[in-house]
Amino acid sequence: MGKHVAVLMGGWSPERQVSLWSGEACAKAAESVGYRVTRVDVGRDIAQVLSALKPDVALNVLHGRPGEDGTIQGILEVLRIPYTHSGVLASALAMDKTQAKIILAAHGIPVPEGRMVSRAEAAREHVLPRPYVLKPNTGGSSVGVFIVREDQEHPPQELNRVDWGFGEDVLAERYIPGLELTCAVMGDHALGVIEIQSDLKFYDYEAKYAPGGSRHILPAQILPNIYQKARMLAVRAHRALGCRGISRTDFRYDDQAGDESGLVCLEVNTQPGMTETSLVPELAAHEGHSFGELVRWMVEDASLDR
């Protein structure tokens, strides 16, 4: 029997369900390639659970807090359990969109203009010229994201909901028209570039996870220099934030610009979705890696923070 792998999934973030889907897919794939797997639905007693399990590796398939913001990484460091994906600092930086943008811009990576505001301010008045995008400063899977259109008189009033669960800081950014692109990095190697198309209002949670919500064009049908530029920027972003293992960088490309100036980096995901039909496994498959081989690569790449 191979290594004992604890697959960390679930948790208590708004992205819990996505994590459960990713975690179960990875657990099955890990078993298929010979690992002994324990599925762990992460609760606040996770340190005690892992201390009792004593796994050889933690396969971190959590999304959102506490699995993506450096918290679970810190626990694993204390317990000296090697784990997949990025370490404490890189995870914390990438999760904070405003701080990540500062780092990326300092490394010459184009990012959208914008500013962080309070949820109350964003609900009270337009905080940028329309059209613009509002998103939680910490979060993923496009939950709590709004596009404010030119003809929209008032800001999204959903921001005033008493059950709003996405934090009090909201990032407002200039809306960039054009194509939705993404590129994964595996180690220090950029995989291909996917164009994501959707008939829905934008590439939101429903577009990402509902059947038929989006279409993936791989390789993206863009000019070769734009394709290679996206791959280069994905690796640069991965390194700038200090990521390791797998990451995925999302872009918008204003194809009306006609050149590389239209390519803008939106964010870096240190814990991208990992179902068999998610973007990263699709990109890996395009390069000849089966889902089982991808999961095995992640497990064997696991380490403590370097």
Catalytic residue among 13, 15, 19, 68: 15
Which of 73, 107, 106, 113 minimizes the C-alpha distance to 92?
Answer: 73
Helices (H) and strands (E) in the chain, counts: 10, 12
Which of 279, 275, 234, 230 minimizes the C-alpha distance to 253?
Answer: 230
CA distances from 31 to 215, 222, 252 (A): 29, 38, 37
Give the separation between CA 88 and CA 69, rounded to whole angstroms.
Answer: 7
Going by the DSSP 8-state scheme, the letter that residue 221 receives in this structure is -
Does 269 belong to an annotated binding site?
Answer: yes
For 127, the 3-state DSSP assignment is coil
Q: Is 261 a catalytic residue?
A: no
Does 267 belong to an annotated binding site?
Answer: yes
Residues 6+ positions from 126 with CB-CB distance below 8 Å: 132, 148, 155
Catalytic residue among 13, 19, 141, 247: 141
Tokens matching residue 149: 């259109």
Give the separation between CA 140 and CA 144, rounded to whole angstroms.
Answer: 9
Residues 6+ positions from 212 with CB-CB distance below 8 Å: none
Q: Is 141 a catalytic residue?
A: yes
Q: Is 278 a catalytic residue?
A: yes
From the annotation, which residues make up the binding site for Mg(2+)?
A: 250, 267, 269
Q: Among all residues, which ones are annotated catalytic?
A: 15, 141, 278
Binding residues: 250, 267, 269
